Amino acid sequence: MALGFRHPDRYPQGVQVISVINQKGGVGKTTSVMNLGAALARAGHQVLLMDLDPQAHLSIAFNRMPDPGDPSVYSLLSGQHQIVDVAQPTNLEDLFIAPTNLDLTGAEQEFASEIGRETLLRDALERLAASDGAPDVVLLDCPPTLGLLSLNALCASDAVIIPVQAEFFALQGMAQLLDVLERVQRRLNPRLQLLGILVGMYSKQRNLSREVVDELRGHFGEVVFSTLIRVNVRLAEAPSHGMTIFEYDAQSAGAADFAAVAAELSERLGLQAPLDQPTEPESAAEPKAEEPAAQPEAAAPEASAEPPVEATAEQA
Report, as an integer, the average pLDDT of 70-79. Answer: 96
Can you give the pLDDT at residue 282? 40
pLDDT at 278 over 50: no
**pLDDT tens profile 5-15:** 433 334 345 89
pLDDT of residue 271: 87
The model scores a pTM over 0.95: no
Domains of the chain, by residue range, sit at 16-269
pLDDT at 207 over 80: yes
Q: Does domain 16-269 have CATH number 3.40.50.300?
A: yes
Better-predicted residue by pLDDT, 299 or 153: 153
Q: What would the DSSP string read from start to end of the chain?
A: -----S-TTS-TT--EEEEE--SSSSSSHHHHHHHHHHHHHHTT--EEEEE--TT-HHHHHTT-PPPTTSS-HHHHHTTS--HHHH-EE-SSTTEEEE---GGGTTHHHHHTTSTTGGGHHHHHHHHHHTSTT--SEEEEE--SS-SHHHHHHHHH-SEEEEEEESSTTTTTTHHHHHHHHHHHHHHT-TT-EEEEEEEESB-TT-HHHHHHHHHHHHHHGGGB-SS--B--HHHHHGGGGT--HHHH-TTSHHHHHHHHHHHHHHHHHTPPPPTTS-SS-SSPPPPPSSS-SS--------TTPPPP--------
Q: How confident is the model at residue 274 (pLDDT cuts 50, 70, 90)?
A: low
